[in-house]
Structure 1
């Protein structure tokens, strides 16, 4: 049975709650898609959408909300929920907006064509405001299927066999591109910021070390920065928000020393200018569990080591400046303004969440997030959402919204909850506060002690969570939608039904190969 959403109002702070723009989130269950206001109201926005909704996504600027059904794709105004356009494309399983929301990309399951039929172009780019098709490609794998865009949407790029194809958006429709050719390239990432770069990863080959090379978009001949290393089968790349520095988390499939079942990890730091790079020194043996940049782009937190793990804050030269202690944690995320840090333990850990004040480096509260599949900061920098999703857990599905003081201010039980996300909003809409507010009156105050509970799910370090060879992975420190440890990527609900029973045979073509 679904309970009504319950809310309270946080009245403290330099700006009253009444004058702050309302925050919004959307959730998708087996029966409906619903947009709601966050604290303090909790009321729904617009009409509920019913039926088989396979996936939804907000544009990164918060203007649009789009969702896919077996029959079509709907795009609406995210605030009013009024229709913008309808895209008559069936069997869409995934979708994503470009950074400014001007383009929407969709992915369908690849279907092998018979005889001389042209290859199935199952990845399509549309104009978001009109639903007009811009271009289409063949992209067989769902992992890393979407284009990567520069922040200003002037350029976009995609990975094919041994090449990155860079398109000027004005020439995207006619297929004109500039190729960056690197033999054996397995992954790449376009940086954020006003002067974007491309970082390309080439694994070890024939005794040569693996490498990360950073190129300017205007010069593919000479890399601006390069870092080589051994023991790296795959990597995960973390840009700071300005796009000036890059953290590279390396992973091997097997730990040859025999110390870890999940392989070895290493963490490297590169300046895009090429004037500084190093291996980040970690003083506890074991894997790197998570990394997050501060929104100020000058510091980052690493969670590392065999359990109980250690969490450390580093400066812009990768020097350790604060030790958060040794606890069972494997997840870290900065709040949008960077004032608060969430350190948590998910997967087979108890789900305990610690909220730290970055300014004073003191712990403010401890929250019970047992069983959470989602943990994400609200754009207002004051609230944190946790949610338990299906199919990872079939019981206790629903969401909770917490004040950073550890007070539960909003919750709702939703049977078969599949997806939930905040509507993105610029941090500048919500003022930075010089003083911390007292705990508001809420539904429930979290305990100050770590919560002991039965472990849920199976925790796997990064290398065992299919982080490898994910073309186009572009993690910008602690942004929305960050994956909770133990939650391996899964297909949207309805994908299995669309595919039919059983697995299809491979078609023998190379991963990422494009059509004509």
Structure 2
């Protein structure tokens, strides 16, 4: 090997994700990697590093280094830049309580100034942790300003706010301490960061024989059949089919916690198992007789169970610590309904916990449930509550209508000292139930008020109204909708700055509003009752499921344009993948006993994958923080440019006024006589579904044109299937993502790769 070979600046890689990817397998020092035109072993990588450009002797560390607590990890991270605005890189090392290296990494950050590189380095460290590791984490760095911003003891500059939003979203579930340390105690991270700077040269002219998607965080799908659940790899699939990551396990139900770190499995009516979703290993098993409802807390720390009580003295609500298996809190509850379950609500970071009780809301110390209820908020007549998720700073309470007093939705602070008066309140008559939807940031609340009876006699199913309240009290009122009828669905975008509503009598109307209830985008009308934002907030899907025919329309909200339309008939569930690129629908039992299966669509509506089952009970994506997948535009480039069907039709109309109705049929010859009542039935169907009624006999020319269009579509599909590999091979496409990072994951390799002088701690 020549001294000046182009790969001499690479740290080393020994972290595996998939076979044939550019990252090698776990604990496999005999594995070889195809890089350039030669196979390079790990030992050769190490020799390259030690023979590299770091000729200056390292300074021994004289500052004491303290290991993390048992069961926790410590991340030391740093950045490096050549000039205040120049090539930058970052690096970090994860160590356990025995001072052993669990994982080390180094990679480029592009062109950054020193402070921006430091902030980007923290964000990359969080992404790498969520991609490859689990547990609790202590983070150490030598930048006093950045660590202070992470601690939230001071506010970051405005130009870093968008980065810290992602940092806080990823760190709240795992980081228990941020610590600023002297630079001499951070020498390993400093060494790796300097290596990361020089790795920038790797993206210029080097021949990388790798799959660009091989290093991105992988998606997973949970499918539950009568025999039990199994876990598959998510798209993109190798050879067009998913691989099985966990073989079938017998169960009656399965559900991930909110952040996807743990999986709750009901094996029978008394056996509950908790799995670590990172390695599919069983963490704990509980034997709880006659359990009727179960759920995990957002981070998987606690298991909440409900059993039917035989006597009022029996405490049938139990909160269990998953790791220890001990009961940390118990309470009696007479009945359990959808409104009152889960009986204990948590914020997404598990920092706040509360429960609904008679005429009051009870709050707990989420870190120590042995203290019991620490304070109570008196709300007479409260019937339902909703704690804001991120952050858990506010709680919404619904008080039902009683004795001529109107129903109301009220917002309170979660802090005891600020609970004297509600921060916002909205009262209304004719309301029996509500749906409460908090936005990200807990600054706004959408309330769908539903009554069982429509006194205007326009609907058999009652009436509904959409109200909007803000925590600062600037808005308390109805959302100004432009069509009469029910509220079918409403959802906030991931930014928390806008929300989409599907409303009105069929064909329903869809509109996107900002936080001041000003309309931003009209999505047209059609047979829709469902709206789904993707986790990145860029795409959204309008759909008509349930008793509607399954029409779907995919929109690019950023570009304000329709991408494509398709159908998924008889769908029971639907959701975007965590990376925001795929949309999965499922037809499941017991809602439907036939035609069970799943369909996965690209973000533009084109069908990517379809699989049928004799009987399917459940199909879910494994939850994951969308921030770990990087920028959505870079992900789109990674999977290639996909053709948008019917693009000519979309370009011919204004996006803000695009109608979802099907194209009118060509002029036809006179047909046989039909009675007036038949014609009226067809017109009613057109009005309800927004499309054509019963199919009529087509003219010969129309039939010929239809066949020609179908052949053209088949030819396009065949050409697309025969197209070259969609994955780019230039790693610069993934700037500031995880594809350019090089890893060490064994102490043996780390000892060779990192100079021993840097590891002296005394």
Which category of TM-score, normalised to the shorter sequence, fits these structures? 0.7 to 0.9
Match of 1:73 in 2: 272
Q: Is the 8 A contact 1:45 1:80 kept in 2?
A: no
User: Quick check: which has more Rg, 1 or 2?
Assistant: 2
Match of 2:126 in 1: none
Aligned counterparts of 2:522 and 2:301: Cα–Cα separation in 1: 42
Q: Which of 397, 409, 412 is the equivalent residue of 2:608?
A: 409
Q: How far is the alpha carbon of 1:441 from its aligned partner?
A: 10
Q: Of Structure 1 and Structure 2, which has the larger fraction of its residues in helix? A: 2
Cα separation, partners in 2 of 1:107 and 1:142, compared to 1, 3 Å? farther
Q: Is the 8 A contact 2:513 2:520 kept in 1?
A: yes
Q: Which runs of 4+ in 1 moved over 4 A?
A: 435-442, 445-452
The 5 A counterparts of 1:176-255 are: 176-194=373-391, 196-218=393-415, 219-255=418-454
Match of 1:425 in 2: 624
Match of 1:315 in 2: 514
SS in 1 for 2:617: strand
Aligned counterparts of 1:169 and 1:382: Cα–Cα separation in 2: 35
Aligned counterparts of 1:195 and 1:93: Cα–Cα separation in 2: 28
Q: Which of 54, 57, 60 is the equivalent residue of 2:252?
A: 54
Q: How far is the alpha carbon of 1:159 from its aligned partner?
A: 1.2
Match of 1:125 in 2: 319
Cα separation, partners in 2 of 1:451 and 1:66, compared to 1, 3 Å? farther
Aligned counterparts of 1:424 and 1:392: Cα–Cα separation in 2: 24
Q: Which of 322, 327, 332 is the equivalent residue of 1:138?
A: 332
Count matched residues: 431
| CA deviation profile, 1:113-144 (whole Å, cap 9, x unmatched) | 3xxxx534332211122322212223321423
Matched, 1:167 2:364: yes
SS in 2 for 1:429: helix
Q: Is the 8 A contact 1:330 1:345 kept in 2?
A: yes
The 5 A counterparts of 1:276-355 are: 276-355=475-554
Cα separation, partners in 2 of 1:294 and 1:205, compared to 1, 3 Å? same
Q: Is the 8 A contact 2:360 2:380 kept in 1?
A: yes
Match of 1:364 in 2: 563
| CA deviation profile, 1:42-91 (whole Å, cap 9, x unmatched) | 111123202xx222111222211111122311111113211111112133
SS in 2 for 1:21: coil
Matched, 1:150 2:347: yes
Cα separation, partners in 2 of 1:396 and 1:439, compared to 1, 3 Å? farther
Aligned counterparts of 2:614 and 2:329: Cα–Cα separation in 1: 38
Q: TM-score, normalised by structure 2?
A: 0.54
SS in 1 for 2:265: strand
Bigger drift between 356-365 and 149-158 goes to 149-158
Q: How far is the alpha carbon of 1:433 from its aligned partner?
A: 3.3
Aligned counterparts of 1:100 and 1:149: Cα–Cα separation in 2: 10
Match of 1:35 in 2: 231
Q: Is the 8 A contact 1:381 1:430 kept in 2?
A: no
Root-mean-square deviation over aligned CA pairs: 2.5
Q: Is the 8 A contact 1:236 1:250 kept in 2?
A: yes
Bigger drift between 171-180 and 423-432 goes to 171-180
Aligned counterparts of 1:419 and 1:142: Cα–Cα separation in 2: 22
Q: Is the 8 A contact 2:345 2:355 kept in 1?
A: yes
Q: Of Structure 1 and Structure 2, which has the larger fraction of its residues in strand? A: 1
Q: Is the 8 A contact 1:352 1:450 kept in 2?
A: no
Aligned counterparts of 1:350 and 1:358: Cα–Cα separation in 2: 24
Q: Is the 8 A contact 1:107 1:145 kept in 2?
A: no
Q: Is the 8 A contact 1:248 1:269 kept in 2?
A: yes
- Gapped regions of structure 1 (runs ≥ 5): 1-14, 453-458, 460-516
Cα separation, partners in 2 of 1:56 and 1:244, compared to 1, 3 Å? same
Q: How far is the alpha carbon of 1:194 from its aligned partner?
A: 3.0
Aligned counterparts of 2:314 and 2:615: Cα–Cα separation in 1: 33
Q: TM-score, normalised by structure 1?
A: 0.78
Q: How far is the alpha carbon of 1:389 from its aligned partner?
A: 0.6
Cα separation, partners in 2 of 1:450 and 1:32, compared to 1, 3 Å? farther
Aligned counterparts of 2:281 and 2:582: Cα–Cα separation in 1: 27
- Gapped regions of structure 2 (runs ≥ 5): 1-210, 650-659, 664-687, 689-762
Q: How far is the alpha carbon of 1:258 from its aligned partner?
A: 1.0
Q: How far is the alpha carbon of 1:324 from its aligned partner?
A: 0.8
Cα separation, partners in 2 of 1:451 and 1:159, compared to 1, 3 Å? farther
Match of 1:112 in 2: 310
